[in-house]
């Protein structure tokens, strides 16, 4: 497996470089590497690596969200708080409902199955959005109104709403005995629990780093292990049944607390995690690409593409509504609309769940989920790259 991983890494780095050379986001090269080398094309990626693909992708997402948390201070949070909360739910909910209506009328899907499709498609990809927002922050684009921070916070929370509402439709379909109200109530409880645990973990880690002398590399390891343990709480059935935990939100909160309590340490760790991300990024995007079955996506046809486009129109309206009366100008709002296009992570993770549960339209749902990755991930990444320089102002004082 190590030789296999080495070849994949070299191929991904080469494709990343080629794509950047032709002015296309390098992450698309890495996704394409995963598609070509994955089980649905050349079948080069080791089955052992594919078996732990979900865990590796989660680890890479944790690294992204740690970096995001370490970049959000209290002053920034005060500026983006309400708009970020609106951006985390309004666009996704509106897109999910729009896709549900389109799927019901264009594909004649029953309402529950159309709802499952809607909220699988509705999730924006933090794997695509967050790294690019961190890059824009690094170079000072949109910093006067914290546009990149608003988007990385909103994109991270967006998934929680989409997955929870998808769970509502799936539970109704499988007749689990849970009421709609009990499932919906779990959403705010999960957010509160995740936030509280993240703040507590961040506070404890801050105290630990102040009390004990250790190298920054060891601090990174301790911080990463704590984040993985926090994220693991979400998978324990006994805990999940009693109280849901939005663990990825908690991971961001850990970084926020450390930045507030120990700014110097947080900045050094952010730099270290930036280096960890170099390899984590390869794993994340190659393994996302490996999940993409192009032949399945082609089965979705033109109607599948039309449904995705209709959904993006609904999401775009949702972004404008979420930013209504905000301090952002029209150019910045347009950038937010475009930056919220990419889909990848959630669609790759849960697109096949309806099929596994015996949903009649499961194959159709999976096909359109895969198609959404193929269409929106490259489109969104390119639009972010190309429009950020024209729609966002650069502030030299904030640049590195």
pLDDT in tens, 194-213: 889 999 999 999 999 999 98
From first CA to last CA, the distance across the chain in angstroms is: 39
Q: Which residues contact 39 (CB under 8 A, 6 or more apart)?
A: 45, 50, 290
Q: What are phi and psi of 197, to 5 degrees?
A: -65, -35
Proportion of the chain in helix, strand, coil states, percent, rounded to 5 = 80, 0, 20
Interval 92-140: pLDDT, tens: 999 999 999 999 999 999 999 999 999 999 999 888 898 889 889 888 8
d(CA 329, CA 332): 5
The two three-digit tokens of residue 372, written as one number: 């959404």
Is residue 36 situated within a structural domain?
Answer: no
| pLDDT confidence of residue 56 | 86
Q: Provide the residue range defining the domain that includes 354.
A: 55-398
Is residue 104 situated within a structural domain?
Answer: yes
Q: What is the pLDDT along the chain (400 residues), one digit of tens a residue?
A: 888 899 999 999 999 999 888 878 888 888 899 989 988 899 999 898 888 888 888 888 888 889 888 878 787 777 777 888 899 899 999 999 999 999 999 999 999 999 999 999 999 988 889 888 988 988 889 888 889 989 988 887 888 788 878 877 887 787 655 556 666 666 677 778 888 999 999 999 999 999 998 999 999 999 999 999 998 886 665 555 556 677 878 888 899 999 999 999 999 999 999 889 888 888 888 888 887 888 877 877 899 999 999 999 999 999 999 999 888 999 999 999 999 999 987 887 788 788 878 888 888 898 898 889 889 988 998 999 899 989 998 875 443 3
Is residue 1 situated within a structural domain?
Answer: no
* Bridge partners, residue 394, by sequence: 141
Is residue 21 situated within a structural domain?
Answer: no
| pLDDT confidence of residue 183 | 62
3-class state of residue 201 by DSSP:
helix
H-state helical runs in 107-179: 111-121, 126-138, 147-174
Is residue 165 situated within a structural domain?
Answer: yes
Is residue 149 situated within a structural domain?
Answer: yes
Is residue 44 situated within a structural domain?
Answer: no
Number of domains in the chain: 1
Domain of 145, CATH number, reads 1.20.1530.20
**To which H or E segment does residue 48 belong?**
helix 47-51
pTM beyond 0.75 = yes
3-class state of residue 141 by DSSP:
strand
Q: What is the 3-state secondary structure (H, E, C) of 331-358?
A: HHHHHHHHHCCCCCHHHHHHCCHHHHCC
């Amino acid at each position: 497996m190590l030789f296999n991983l080495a070849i994949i890494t070299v191929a991904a780095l080469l494709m990343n470089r080629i794509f950047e050379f032709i002015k296309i986001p390098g992450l698309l090269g890495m996704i394409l590497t995963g598609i070509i080398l994955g089980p649905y094309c050349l079948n080069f990626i080791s089955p052992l690596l594919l078996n732990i693909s979900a865990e590796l992708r989660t680890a890479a997402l944790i690294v992204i969200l740690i970096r995001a948390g370490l970049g959000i201070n209290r002053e920034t949070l005060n500026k983006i708080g309400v708009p970020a909360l609106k951006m985390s739910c309004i666009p996704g909910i509106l897109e999910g409902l729009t896709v549900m209506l389109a799927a019901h009328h264009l594909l004649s899907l029953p309402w529950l199955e159309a709802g499952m499709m809607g909220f699988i498609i509705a999730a924006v990809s933090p794997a695509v959005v967050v790294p690019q927002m961190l890059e824009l922050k690094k170079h000072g684009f949109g910093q006067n109104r914290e546009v990149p921070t608003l988007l990385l916070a909103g994109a991270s929370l967006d998934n929680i709403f989409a997955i929870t509402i998808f769970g509502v439709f799936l539970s109704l379909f499988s007749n689990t005995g849970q009421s709609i109200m009990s499932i919906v109530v779990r959403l705010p409880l999960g957010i509160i629990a995740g936030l509280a645990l993240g703040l507590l973990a961040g506070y404890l880690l801050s105290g630990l780093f102040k009390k004990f002398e250790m190298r920054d590399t060891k601090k990174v390891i301790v911080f990463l292990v704590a984040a993985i343990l926090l994220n693991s709480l979400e998978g324990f059935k006994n805990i999940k049944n009693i109280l849901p935990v939005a663990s990825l939100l908690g991971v961001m909160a850990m970084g926020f607390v450390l930045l507030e309590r120990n700014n110097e340490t947080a900045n050094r760790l952010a730099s270290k995690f930036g280096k960890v991300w170099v390899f984590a990024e390869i794993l994340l995007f190659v393994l996302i690409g490996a999940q993409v079955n192009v032949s399945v996506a082609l089965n979705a046809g033109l109607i599948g593409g039309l449904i995705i486009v209709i959904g993006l129109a609904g999401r775009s309206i949702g972004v404008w509504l979420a930013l209504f009366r905000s301090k952002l100008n029209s150019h910045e709002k347009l950038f937010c609309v475009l930056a919220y296009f990419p889909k990848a992570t959630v669609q790759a993770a849960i697109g096949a769940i309806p099929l596994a549960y015996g949903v009649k339209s499961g194959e159709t749902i999976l096909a359109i989920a895969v198609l959404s990755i193929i269409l929106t991930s490259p489109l969104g990444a390119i639009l972010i790259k190309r429009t950020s320089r024209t729609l966002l102002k650069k502030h030299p004082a904030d640049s590195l």
